[in-house]
Amino acid sequence: MTTTDSSPQHVHAELLCANEANIQHCATALRHGQLVAFPTETVFGLGAAVTQLAAIQGIFKAKGRPSEHPLIAHVAPGAALTGWVAEVTPTMQKLIDAFWPGPLTLVVPKGERMPLEVTGGQNSVGIRCPSHTVAIALLKATGVPVAAPSANRFGKVSPTRASHVLAELGDRIPFILDGEVPEVGIESTIVSLLNDQPAVLRPGAITAAQIEAVLGVPVKTHGEVSKTPNANPRVSGALEKHYSPDAKVWVLEASELEALPVQYKTLCVGWTDGFLAQADALRELHADVLVEALNNNASDVAKALYATLRQADQLACKQVLFEKPEETAQWEAVNDRLKRASA
Ligand code: TXA
Ligand code: MG
Supply the pLDDT for residue 307.
Answer: 87
Q: Decide whether 14-231 matches 248-341 in CATH topology.
A: no
What sign does the CA torsion over 341, 266, 294, 44 have? negative
Ligand 1 closest atom vs CA 152: 14
Ligand nearest to the CA of 188: 1
- The superfamily CATH assigns to domain 14-231 is DHBP synthase (3.90.870.10)
Supply the pLDDT for residue 260.
Answer: 64
User: What's at 4, amino acid-wise?
Assistant: T
Q: Where are the alpha helices (DSSP H) in the chain?
A: 20-31, 53-63, 90-99, 116-119, 133-142, 162-169, 208-215, 222-227, 254-258, 261-267, 298-314, 332-341
Encode pLDDT of 100-114 as tens digits. 999 999 999 999 999
Quick one: which H or E segment has residue 38? strand 36-38
Of 117, 132, 161, 187, best ligand 1 pocket probe by most atoms within 8 Å of the beta carbon: 187
Supply the pLDDT for residue 209.
Answer: 97
Of the options 3.40.50.11030, 3.50.50.60, 2.60.40.10, 3.30.70.890, the CATH number for the domain spanning 248-341: 3.40.50.11030
Distance between Cα 42 and ligand 2 center (Å): 11
Residue segments in the chain with a per-residue pLDDT below the cut of 70: 1-10, 229-242, 254, 257-295, 316
Domain edges within the chain: 14-231, 248-341
